[in-house]
Amino acid sequence: MEYQWLKTFCVAAETLNFRKASEKLIMSQPSVTVHIRLLEEHLGIALFDRQNNRVTLSDAGRFFLPEAMQIVKSIENSVKRVHAFAQGYRRTWSIAISPLMAETILPNVLQSFMKLHPNIEISIRVEESHMIEELVDQGEVNIGVSALDAKRRDIQFIPIYKDPILFVMPSDEYDEESGPPIDVQEVLKKNYLFTHHHPVFWDDLLLKLNKHVVGLRTMKVTQAHITKRFIQDGLGVSFLPHSIVRRELIEGKIMQPHFDLFELPSVSTYIIVKKEGDLEKEFIDRISKYYFR
């Protein structure tokens, strides 16, 4: 039983169309038909029911599909490990990180971490914070960096940094000393407010804002880096963690007016880990030093 027969079967079972399967597999449609026929002959059972040029999975096909998918996945993972070994890697290690953190802390921490561990194949999964605990719990990643703490008892969550939320807006032609005072209520009334790019603070913040600003216009933009770009392009304003906008503020690409309507919240960044091995402890130490130096 050959790997390619199984791969073809899995794709054909997904599409239920041999032509579409051939396109996905980048092979001719007759080749797909041959692979399925050879697999059926090897198993001694029909995997598809064929009627009027249409195919559906037979009962045996539905039963066999999970087995075939598992075999294909196992073979592909083995090939990946062999290729990694050939490249000098002797161990794999994976991180799940939220989009908010991926563009700020990860490049700096990862650069030094990779230099110290050239024989480790590191993989990065950028996932929304609410998914990271599950990935750690299921063992799909070794460690997570999240804007949310963990809820499961057997998962550790380690706060590594508390980030103040800042009100930010497009830069104007004035500097901080010569510019006229900015009325944040007027700014909020005249501009779209980009919201929900962080999983924690937006509901409470919007409740408070609506008490102070009549006619607040909001627009959901779920990624912080898109929000920053929109603000730089003069499309609106928002509230973002300081670590996310630190560079843009220094470079004058956006500005932070004094916000005096109420006290703004802070948000935390957490390490999510199930088992602390040597690599996990080292990574936690490095990421903590990056923030607290």
Residue 290 has pLDDT above 60, yes or no: yes
Residue 58 has pLDDT above 60, yes or no: yes
Specify whether the CB–CB gap between 97 and 126 falls below 8 A. Answer: yes
Q: What is the mean pLDDT of the chain?
A: 86
Residues 6+ apart with CB under 8 A from 267: 147, 162, 163, 165, 198, 200, 201, 241
The pLDDT value recorded for residue 90 is 54
Q: Tens digit of pLDDT for each residue in 62-95? A: 999 999 999 988 888 777 766 656 665 456 788 8
Q: Tens digit of pLDDT for each residue in 26-39? A: 999 999 999 999 99
The pLDDT value recorded for residue 173 is 64
Q: Where are the domains of the chain?
A: 3-86, 91-160+268-292, 162-267
CA 50 to chain CA mean position, Å: 41
The pLDDT value recorded for residue 286 is 79
160 confidence band (pLDDT: 50, 70, 90): confident
Residue 263 has pLDDT above 60, yes or no: yes
Cα four-point dihedral sign 54, 55, 59, 62: negative
Architecture of domain 162-267: 3-Layer(aba) Sandwich (3.40)
The pLDDT value recorded for residue 44 is 92
* Lowest mean pLDDT across 52-61, 96-105, 134-143: 96-105
* Lowest mean pLDDT across 43-47, 121-125, 188-192: 121-125
User: Average pLDDT in the 119-145 region?
Assistant: 88
The pLDDT value recorded for residue 293 is 41
Q: How far apart are CA 132 and CA 129, in angstroms?
A: 5
Q: Tens digit of pLDDT for each residue in 183-240? A: 999 999 999 999 999 888 999 999 999 999 988 999 999 888 899 999 999 999 999 9
Total-model pTM: 0.66
Q: Which residue has the tokens 């924690």?
A: 200
* Lowest mean pLDDT across 77-86, 105-114, 168-177: 77-86
Q: Which helix (H) or strand (E) holds 146?
A: strand 143-146
Task: For residue 110, give the nearest of 292, 293, 247, 290 by alpha carbon.
Answer: 290
Domain 3-86 class? mainly alpha
User: Average pLDDT in the 11-31 region?
Assistant: 91
Task: For residue 187, give the nearest of 198, 202, 203, 172 by alpha carbon.
Answer: 172
Q: Do domains 91-160+268-292 and 162-267 have the same CATH topology?
A: yes
User: Average pLDDT in the 149-156 region?
Assistant: 87
Q: Which residue has the tokens 């030093």?
A: 289
Lookup: tokens for 113 = 């971490």
Fold of 91-160+268-292: D-Maltodextrin-Binding Protein; domain 2 (3.40.190)
**Count of beta carbons in the 10 Å neighbourhood of residue 93:** 18
Lookup: tokens for 30 = 């007759």
